[in-house]
Structure 1
């Protein structure tokens, strides 16, 4: 258990170390520009904006920088307008913040836009008239911080998108594949407890699986926007396509694992080809990830998936119970999604898996 937790901490550090490095570089550079080059008052907001843009997420950097700047601008405009009419004071500050956040919501601003609009309006409301120019400086520094963060993340120290995917998706798919193998072994050995454990691990991995989808999207964004990473764009687009289908394969496998438990509890017959099919699906998942990162055509993954189809067909032709039939149908759906992830068209993947054309 301790080794597993240590390994997980190490993998998280490897994944997010690049963010820490980028944040440090963006903070230093934005502070230098704001304080030493432009001599802005309140230069601290420039590195703060840089951190907010870098550390909020590995992807969507441009959107987050735009949200930050938009929020600050809305806060300044609304704050200055209301200050000219009602002056400063506690009540006036409350009104300024309320109007700023309402205005951000009115233009369909996100939560981040509302936060920055409200905090900038708060700054204006607490400043005397002769210091209200500091709010304008905050806008400039926000622009400096956001722009610097984007430059660092995409031009100066861009992450390697393939490495980001490997470090994020690799452990998640490994848990997915190992859980499938455990389910196959449990079915073969008729071990209900082991089947329950495999099912629980698949359910517990849902959050990590969702994070992996976000990281794949973030890596694709880097490959699109960073000139130094354009040569990785083909691999990332293929993997992004695959990631969507692997998500569906994961969901169907999670449901399938419940029916593995039910099949064993009901003591239904289990043809030898049924656990073999699940194990070959597990191998297909592993091979697919490996082939994509290597830039190879996933022929081996497709071959394993097709072998899994032959075996589930053999099992379905034998005497299996109700739970076994539902298990087999979920298994077919998962195999179809893995085939689609490998580049097979949906209609063909469903046909091979023994599904209708509009299935999955």
Structure 2
């Protein structure tokens, strides 16, 4: 039921788009009796372009219409059959490439051309019939209007679905490293590293979703009021990207610390747990649209504890772990809306020495 609830709007978009495209194509002046390609084109645009950036949606519209047009013209000339399918696919893709289409428009042009040849072959001899091309344009335009004007996705919800689980995962990872250091469990630290390496796909999906959400917030009038709240998620994207990289470095050096049998000052796992708390608080404040004051306090506390542990570390790996805690605290503070100058003012100072961290 949760999955159904999350996909309720796309389902409604598709149902309304298919019905509306068919209805419009049957009205004068179009007045087509069986406008098969109108709802199909609408569904392709709404399904393939769901939450995507506008160029992708336009590519889908162009790909469907181009494929239908090429298919209709070629079938009227050479008829339908096995060899004709190969020729139609080839020429549809060549034309799509020649007009400068990307992979999406090329593939969609080929698929639409195949539908013309296989499902609705011409029955009136070599006469060129552009009805299906018009139907495809109607469906594509209906899909575009619905996704942008009538029933656009909520950009904040789209952003939240990507960032919330990523922040939760990062919080769990730093807490897992803390537990591994306390137990001196190298296997647990290695497992955390393996899990951290899997977050890159989530980061890429986050950037893609935020680009689409930002575009919806810009072009869809009914979503303009969401731009302020969405801005907080957009500001978080780069710091969260940095966090995932720093967590991977943290895991690697935690493993090295345990391999070298270096001491683990109690402040280090404490600082990591404070970081985990800061990440969880940041997620909650982002969802609510609140100023993340408590998240900032937890991040500063984490940096303070890590700095206190610096003089008790017994080797290079321990110092790097401390450095990564400070770096992660900086990332959290930047994600919490502070400038880099403000972050530097809040961070505790480091003891004098040849190397500085954070």
Aligned to 1:66: 58
Aligned-pair distance for 1:233?
A: 0.3
* Alignment pair present for 1:247 and 2:241: yes
Query: What are structure 2's unaligned runs of at least 5 residues?
Result: 351-356
Aligned-pair distance for 1:83?
A: 7.8
Query: What are structure 1's unaligned runs of at least 5 residues?
Result: 1-9
How many pairs were matched up? Answer: 346
SS in 2 for 1:58: coil
SS in 1 for 2:7: helix
8 Å CA contact 1:41–1:137 kept in 2: the answer is no
Distance 1:100 1:177, change over 3 A: same
Aligned to 1:28: 19
Aligned to 1:116: 108
Distance 1:215 1:255, change over 3 A: same
- Between stretches 343-352 and 245-254, larger displacement belongs to 343-352
8 Å CA contact 1:30–1:47 kept in 2: the answer is yes
Aligned to 1:311: 305
Aligned to 1:3: none
Distance 1:346 1:110, change over 3 A: farther
Distance 1:105 1:39, change over 3 A: same
Distance 1:196 1:274, change over 3 A: same
SS in 1 for 2:153: coil
Q: Distance in 2 between matches of 1:183 and 1:93?
A: 57
Q: Following superposition of structure 1 onto structure 2, how do residues 186-225 of structure 1 map, counting pairs within 5 Å? A: 186-225=180-219
Distance 1:128 1:332, change over 3 A: farther
Distance 1:315 1:304, change over 3 A: same
Q: Following superposition of structure 1 onto structure 2, how do residues 2-151 of structure 1 map, counting pairs within 5 Å? A: 12-35=3-26, 38-40=30-32, 42-60=34-52, 62-75=54-67, 87-88=78-79, 94-122=86-114, 123=116, 127=122, 130=125, 133-134=128-129, 136-151=130-145
- Greater helix content: 1
SS in 2 for 1:144: helix
- Residues 270-296 of structure 1: CA deviation (Å, up to 9, x unaligned): 112211221222122122222222222
Distance 1:78 1:152, change over 3 A: closer
Q: Output the TM-score relative to the length of structure 2.
A: 0.82
- Between stretches 296-305 and 87-96, larger displacement belongs to 87-96
Distance 1:11 1:42, change over 3 A: same
8 Å CA contact 2:13–2:147 kept in 1: the answer is yes
Aligned-pair distance for 1:109?
A: 0.9
Q: Output the TM-score relative to the length of structure 1.
A: 0.81
Distance 1:17 1:311, change over 3 A: same
- Residues 22-63 of structure 1: CA deviation (Å, up to 9, x unaligned): 212212222222235643265222211222122225322643
Q: Distance in 2 between matches of 1:97 and 1:59?
A: 28
Aligned-pair distance for 1:184?
A: 1.5
Aligned to 1:170: 164
Aligned to 2:320: 326
Aligned-pair distance for 1:269?
A: 0.8
Aligned-pair distance for 1:127?
A: 4.2
- Residues 277-326 of structure 1: CA deviation (Å, up to 9, x unaligned): 21222122122222222222222222222222212222223333222222
SS in 2 for 1:51: helix
Q: Distance in 1 between matches of 2:212 and 2:79?
A: 43
Q: Distance in 2 between matches of 1:212 and 1:220?
A: 12
